[in-house]
Amino acid sequence: MVRESSEDNIVEPVALPLSEQEEWKDVTPLEQEDSQFSICPIAYTDGYKEMMGYMRAVMAVGELSERAYELTGAVLKENPGHYTVWVYRKKLIEELHLDIEKELEWLESIAEMYPKNYQSWHHREVLVSMLLDPRVLADMPQDQQVCHPVIRRELSFLANAIDEDSKNFHAWSYRQWLVRRYGIWEQEKVFINTMIDQDVRNNSAWNQRYFALVQGETGSKVLVDDGTLQAEIEYAVEIIKRAPNNESPWSYIVGMLLRHAPEKLYDELLPRIQQLSVDASYDQAVKSSPFYWSALVDIYESRAANEDADAREKILDLARSACAVLATDHDPVRMRYWEHRQTTLV
C-alpha cells in the first residue's frame, strides 16, 4: 500500500496493520489484561495496542526471530520507555547474532527522537560492551585508545549529543561510564577543559571535571596529590576572574577542598580570593558576588572547627559577619537561610 504526500508529490509506503500481514497470520495477539474497574486506563492508540498484542504473543512463547526483532523496533519507537521490550530486544540481538553496528545506527535514530530516555542510553552501554572488551585497549597508549573505531565513534556521538544539549544528564552519565570502562582519563581532561572554556557556567562540565580528577572514585578518602590540588586552585581562581558571579567554580573548588584538603581552604584559597577582592580589576565584581561571601562562610566555619575556644570564636564571628552581608546586601532572597546559618555557627 502506498500514499501520496502533498509535499512534492512524494509517494510513501504505508505499513499494513499486522493483522493484515501474511507474515503474522500464524500469531494470535494477546490482549492486555486490564480490569473493568481500572481507575485510570491508558488511552493507547489502536496501532500501538495492536503491536503490543503481537509483542506479548511472541514474548510469551520466547520466539527468537527477525520479525520479533523488527517488532521490538516498532514498539520502542512508539514507547521508548518500555524496558521489558528493551530486554527482549537485547536477547534477540545476542541469540540471533545480529549486527551490533547496525543496531547502534538504529539507536542513534532513537536518540534523536528521545535524547533523554534512560533505556536507550543503557541499551547503548550494553551494545558497546558486547562490541569492545576493555582488555583490547589495556596495553595501548591513550592516544591510540581514543583512535580505536568504537571509542572514536562513541566520543563523536557524545560530542554531538552534548553540543545539542550541554546539560543532558544522560549523555554525561553515559560519558562517565565510557571513560571509566575503557580508562580514557587523559583524553577526558582535555575535553573538559574545552567545555569549560566554551561555557564557564556549565555545571555538568564542572561535575565531570571532578569525576575525571578522582577517576570515578567516591568518598573523602580518595587521595588527590598536593600538586593536583594546587593546580585546581589556580584553575578555579582564573575562571572566577572571568565571571565572579558564576557559582560553578566557587562550588567546585570549595567543595573539593572541603572533601580532600580542608586546611588549604584557609591557608591557600582564602588569600587568593581576598587578593581578588582588593584588586582594582576585579574587586567590585568579586565583592558583589554572593558566592564570594558564601565561600568565606564555608572557609571560616571549616577553619574554626580546628581552633581552640578563643580563636574559634573570632573566626566564627567572621563567618557570621559574612552571613549578615549575604542576608542584607548580596543574597536577600535567601535572607532567612543566612539568618538561620548564622545561628548554626557555634
How far apart are the C-alpha atoms of 267 and 317, rounded to whole Å? 18
How far apart are the C-alpha atoms of 67 and 70, rounded to whole Å? 5
- Identify the active-site residue in 25, 49, 102, 116: 116
- SS3 assignment, position 164: helix
How far apart are the C-alpha atoms of 297 and 319, rounded to whole Å? 5
- Distance, C-alpha 234 to centroid of its chain: 26
Q: What b/e readout covers 308-345, taking b as 16+ CB neighbours within 10 angstroms?
A: eeeeeeebbebbbebbebbbeebbeeeeeebeebbeeb
Measure the CA angle with vertex 78, ends 74 and 84; round to 5°.
75
Is position 116 annotated as part of the catalytic site?
Answer: yes
Catalytic residues: 116
